[in-house]
Amino acid sequence: MSSVKVILVVSLFVPTVMPSSDLFKLECRPTAGILAQTTVIRCFFKNINDIEIVGVILKKAEQKDPIFTQEGSERSGDPRFSLENIKVGPSLLISNTMFSDDGEYLYRVVTDSGEKEIQFSISVTAKYKDPVASTWPENVIDGGPASLYCNATDGYPEGFIHWFDRSGSNWTVNSELTKIPKNINGVKSVALSSKLTFKSITLGLAPFRCIVFNSKYVQDGENTLEITSAISNENEHSSGSNMKNIVAGVMVIGSLIVGLLFALLCFRKKKDERPYTKSPELENGDSR
């Protein structure tokens, strides 16, 4: 395999066998890849229609050895790299994109009309997970102090969290954003934590939304924070207690009524079971 790779690289770089390359141009667009997803590097030919790709060589700008080569259907190097469609154009694919793919690249394309080399860049980002929001205290008093929290993780590079009330007014200037970078086995991320503090909160501004933006201010996710009023909670608790008291009273009265009915039933049953006794006159044969 190594000998085939050497022959391929040498054959692609022999300029004497290739026609003039002034007939066309090669362009590749800067690419933003997303961690663990498939990245497409869009490349295309200009000023030419009928052209056939013979092979390609891709390497990092700071590295000597290629990371990917292809001649016809034969490929070598990192298996995550490939031509999107050799018959259509020189665009590249990277499957399962990694942070190590970030950087500058030199890309040489050899065709039946000549060869071109171009430099392009890839930046790799990671999308933030949907944020988690909460309040302290859990039950907020209207006009009292309160803190709103919003946390988002697993994004890269570092992003931002903004706060909006129900009318769309931006409260971010009153918030405090903390950014904690992490790097675990080459997987980079930045944890975001935002705290919006009120000395005297107006619950009429709720619900609040915390929106997470990536490093380019593109929205990654949001969470709507419904605030529980302490007064409402107390009223619900009071209503619940009153209902419990009413139910308990009804049960006591019902028990008394059932007991009374049971006593009356027993009394009547005993009366019906009392033995029948004849009068003395009837016993003596008095038939008056």
Residue with tokens 């700071």: 62
* % of the chain with per-residue pLDDT over 70: 73
In a domain, residue 263? The reply is: no
Give the mean model confidence (pLDDT) for residues 80-109: 96
Same domain, 7 and 69: yes
Please report the pLDDT score of residue 254 as a whole number: 60
- Spatial separation of the C-alpha atoms in residues 48 and 111, rounded to whole Å: 12
Same domain, 115 and 161: no
Q: How many domains does the chain have?
A: 2
Give the mean model confidence (pLDDT) for residues 239-256: 57
Q: Among 230, 260, 277, give the residue marking a domain's end.
A: 230
In a domain, residue 236? The reply is: no
For position 164, which CATH number holds?
A: 2.60.40.10
Q: Distance between terminal CA atoms of the chain?
A: 140
Q: Among 98, 125, 152, give the residue marking a domain's end.
A: 125
- Which of these, 110, 115, 109, lies nearest to 21 by C-alpha position? 115
Indicate the SS3 state at residue 199: coil
In a domain, residue 107? The reply is: yes
pLDDT averaged over every residue in the chain: 84
- Spatial separation of the C-alpha atoms in residues 245 and 251, rounded to whole Å: 10
- Spatial separation of the C-alpha atoms in residues 66 and 47, rounded to whole Å: 28
Q: Which residues contact 218 (CB under 8 A, 6 or more apart)?
A: none
Q: Which tokens go with 78?
A: 């990192």
In a domain, residue 254? The reply is: no
Q: Among 93, 125, 157, give the residue marking a domain's end.
A: 125
Q: Which tokens go with 92?
A: 């590249």
**178-224 per-position pLDDT tens digit:** 999 999 998 999 999 999 999 999 999 999 999 999 999 999 999 99
- Pairing type for strands 228-229 and 139-140 reads parallel
Same domain, 23 and 121: yes
Whether 140 shows a pLDDT value over 80: the answer reads yes
Please report the pLDDT score of residue 248 as a whole number: 55
Which residues constitute the domain of residue 37? 2-125
